[in-house]
Amino acid sequence: MSTTLPPFEEVVTTHGPTVLRVCRAVLGPMDADDAWSETFLAALRAYPTLRPGSNVEAWLVTIAHRKAIDQTRARARRPLPVDPLPEHPAPSVEDRQDGDLWAAMQALPFKQRVAVAYHYVAGMPYADVAALIGGSQDAARRAAADGIAALRKTYGKGGPR
Amino acid sequence: MTTYEPGAPERSDLFVALPAIDEETTRRLRDRLVREAQTAGLLDVAYRTIDSPVGPLLLAATAKGLVRVAYGCEDHAKVLERLARDLSPRILHAPVRLDAAAKEIDEYFAGLRQGFDLPVDFSLARGFRRLVLTRLRAIGYGQTASYAAIAVAVGNPRAVRAVGTACASNPIPVVVPCHRVVRSDGSIGQYVGGVDAKRTLLTLEGRPAD
């Protein structure tokens, strides 16, 4: 295990794409850029104090989670957007854009959304998801399963695996 | 990607086929991060690479100035790791921050510039080594000096070998001209970027050596 931290540049290159997907999954494409930027700026600030050998991606997702909570609260204080959630039928596999999936995720309750994002997009085990969002590991697993089931109804018809 | 092993969780097929993050988005977010990091005073070390007649050069700068120029033979990834250890791990690829340095070095290799106006940061050299490097800046374009002469100039005539070590560990070669220090018999001596690079620089400056 390394005793020194790698240059932060490496952190951005290695984990930037996954963290952006997590932000898109939790907040939607519109607010994801802001959340990603705030996450990496906060991470850069705290980076020198990170213990070498830590799980950097889990650390980043933890920071992103706090930013997502902040943004979700801020959003609740904002007037509702004019455009309703997309109601067009689920696109064919070929037509699927990730924007549609992220939009569909926005219809999920917050808890389901973050459970799906952290487990399926960030690849975190349910124990870590539970530690992050609160509640038991089983509750995290149920929230993610409910979220995926709801997504299948609103978004795609891919067979369950 | 992630480091969860073993028993990495399954990925739902819903998320399997997502397209990669496009380059334009990546660039936009990274530019913003560099901008905001700089505004917040969190960009401790900025770096970029440039092409040159002596191969790719890594340029790194702190807020004080150019802190490192590294030849390809020094292994840029290793150089960045050492910068993270010795200066700060808050390191980002931030080409814009090094535009002025890149321009001056380009001009130098094009034969359009004989001296550098860049602020430099000698944080990576201490004590006697720093003293030697400071003295080197007084050797003008196209001039050379012997290791022994530099030892005399820094007031320690017996420290010829230590002068050689200081030159060999110069963190800012090209800009701090350790290539202008040669052996007393006129032969070219060693160089941090390799003897060929040293010869190229001296030839560029009109001092073919050996």
CB-nearest to B8 from A8, A123, A151 is A123
Catalytic residues of B: 178
CB-nearest to A12 from B8, B14, B33 is B33
Domains of chain A: 8-80+98-154 (1.20.140)
Domain boundaries, chain B: 23-109, 127-204
The C-alpha atoms of residue B181 and residue B207 are separated, in whole angstroms, by 12
Interface of B with A (CB under 8 A): 1-4, 7-15, 17-21, 25-26, 28-30, 32-33, 36-37, 40, 42, 45, 47, 80-81, 83-85, 88-93
Q: What is the CATH number of domain B23-109?
A: 3.30.160
Write out pLDDT tens, residues B82-130: 999 999 999 999 999 999 999 999 999 999 999 999 999 999 999 999 9
Burial per residue of B25-39, b for 16 or more beta-carbon CB atoms within 10 angstroms, e otherwise: bbeebbebbbebbbe
The CA-atom distances, in angstroms, between B33 and each of A18, A45, B91 are: 16, 12, 12
Substitution target from A1, A3, A4, A9 for chain B, most B beta carbons within 10 A: A9
Binary contact (B90, A47; C-beta < 8 A)? yes
Q: Which residues of chain A have pLDDT under 70?
A: 1-2, 79-99, 156-161
Indicate if B127-204 has the same CATH topology as B23-109: no
Binary contact (B9, A36; C-beta < 8 A)? no
pLDDT of residue B17: 65
- Mean pLDDT (chain A, rounded): 85
A40 interface with B at CB cutoff 8 Å:
yes
pLDDT of residue A102: 85
The C-alpha atoms of residue B13 and residue B192 are separated, in whole angstroms, by 52
Binary contact (B88, A48; C-beta < 8 A)? yes
Closest CA–CA distance from residue A29 to any residue of chain B (Å): 11
Region B191-209: mean pLDDT is 91
Binary contact (A45, B93; C-beta < 8 A)? no
Closest CA–CA distance from residue B85 to any residue of chain A (Å): 6
Write out pLDDT tens, residues B136-147: 999 999 999 999
Binary contact (A158, B13; C-beta < 8 A)? yes
Q: Is the ipTM of this complex over 0.95?
A: no
Residue B4 has pLDDT above 60, yes or no: no
Closest CA–CA distance from residue A70 to any residue of chain B (Å): 19
Q: What is the CATH number of domain B127-204?
A: 1.10.10.10
Q: Which residues of B fall within a CB distance of 8 Å from A16?
A: 21, 26, 29-30
Weakest mean pLDDT among B1-5, B11-15, B80-84: B1-5
